Amino acid sequence: MRSLLFVPGDSRKKLDKALDSGTDVLLIDLEDSVALDAKETARATASAFIQEHRHTTGRPRLFVRVNGLTTGMTDADLDGVMQASPDGIVLPKTVGGTDVAHLGAKLAVREAEFGLEDGATRILAIATENAAGVFALGTFAGASHRLMGLTWGGEDLSADLGAEVNRDEDGAYTEPYRLARSLTLFGAAAAGVDAVDSVYTNFRDMAGLEAECRAARRDGFVAKMAIHPAQVPVINEAFNPSPEAIQRARTVIEAFKARPGAGVVGVEGEMLDRPHLLRAERLLKRAGAL
Ligand code: COA
Ligand code: MG
């Protein structure tokens, strides 16, 4: 997984278009991009779309973003789409592991009801959309075997904080959002799940997007969400491990293999110990999965 493209759930036209975008995951939205009086239409449209494409070969994974647990709409969203068997559910406005466990229980009920495999539906949590969520970022470990990733959001968080903006004059995130982003990395690593970077909303600025992708990969994010199909190839390219990185990882693993029992080895003038080996193994595993 490198790219996750948001599509408003009530737009069949955009759903069809997104299918050919090259995205690894399609995030069918029932939340903020769908107006209140269009929620029911969006549930039906999303459900029909998933049913139709469940068996399409080479399709992206199909996830649905439901409305948050405090909205009173989550159950209706799940009742609307679970029969179609989406690959995963995105939970917005998450406040820690208890929310994920709560969603997990709701999913278990629907999986049983609709004859789906228990645990088949994965969860991606958007974990920093309010201040309480930021403080709960260390609570995701063990919350649910369904949890596959954590992501963060700076737009809703700025609303919760009462901030005027979330980026400075140069376009860089201001301190509160940099902190939320970093804590998401720590929270995901502590829970043993993927860290997914937030959206880049200026969808015509490809250079800015590319720079943000590079910084995200450097720091440990494995994927990034998108809001426009044009962002997908840029994200995929940026999160593909480069041939040089793959070759380097192979070299590191070979060096340890050549000296069984060694805790530390020297490669091309650099000291390498256990963390370097783990990092190399992780990179090759990711490259293999892609
Ligand atoms: N998925 C699929 N197709 C999309 C798309 C998306 N996320 N965003 C745009 N497109 C399509 C458009 O429908 C248009 O199709 P067409 O050429 O057949 O008419 C084409 O791509 C070009 O779109 P463009 O004119 O550049 O943008 P727009 O003004 O139509 O749309 C947005 C801009 C922001 C409204 C649109 O990108 C969008 O809906 N993004 C997702 C929003 C969302 O889900 N937000 C929630 C998470 S933050
Ligand atoms: Mg939002």
Choosing from 67, 227, 231 the residue with most ligand 1 atoms within 8 A of its CB, the one to mutate for a pocket test is: 227
Helix H segments across 151-273? Answer: 155-161, 175-191, 206-219, 231-239, 243-258
Q: What is the pLDDT of residue 286?
A: 83
Of the pLDDT bands very low, low, confident and very high (cuts 50, 70, 90), residue 31 is: very high
Residues 273 and 153 placed together within one structural domain of the fold: no
Residues 219 and 125 placed together within one structural domain of the fold: yes
Residues 22 and 135 placed together within one structural domain of the fold: yes
Residues 171 and 63 placed together within one structural domain of the fold: yes
**Domain containing residue 36:** 3-239
pLDDT average, residue stretch 211-220: 94
Residues 169 and 247 placed together within one structural domain of the fold: no
Residues 284 and 181 placed together within one structural domain of the fold: no
pLDDT one-digit tens code per residue, 41-57: 999 999 999 999 999 98
| Identity at 198, one-letter amino acid code | S
Domains identified in the chain, total number: 2
Residues 183 and 279 placed together within one structural domain of the fold: no
Residues 153 and 270 placed together within one structural domain of the fold: no
Stretch among 32-36, 79-83, 150-154, 276-280 having the lowest mean pLDDT: 276-280
Residues 138 and 176 placed together within one structural domain of the fold: yes
Burial class (CB in 10 A: 0-12, 13-18, 19+), 202: middle
Residue having the nearest C-alpha atom to atom 14 of ligand 1? 14
Of the pLDDT bands very low, low, confident and very high (cuts 50, 70, 90), residue 201 is: very high
Residues 258 and 201 placed together within one structural domain of the fold: no
Residues 53 and 184 placed together within one structural domain of the fold: yes
Q: What is the pLDDT of residue 279?
A: 87
pLDDT average, residue stretch 194-210: 96
Q: How far apart are CA 146 and CA 217, in angstroms?
A: 24
- Centre of ligand 2 from the C-alpha of residue 124, in Å: 14
Residue having the nearest C-alpha atom to atom 45 of ligand 1? 33
Residues 81 and 133 placed together within one structural domain of the fold: yes
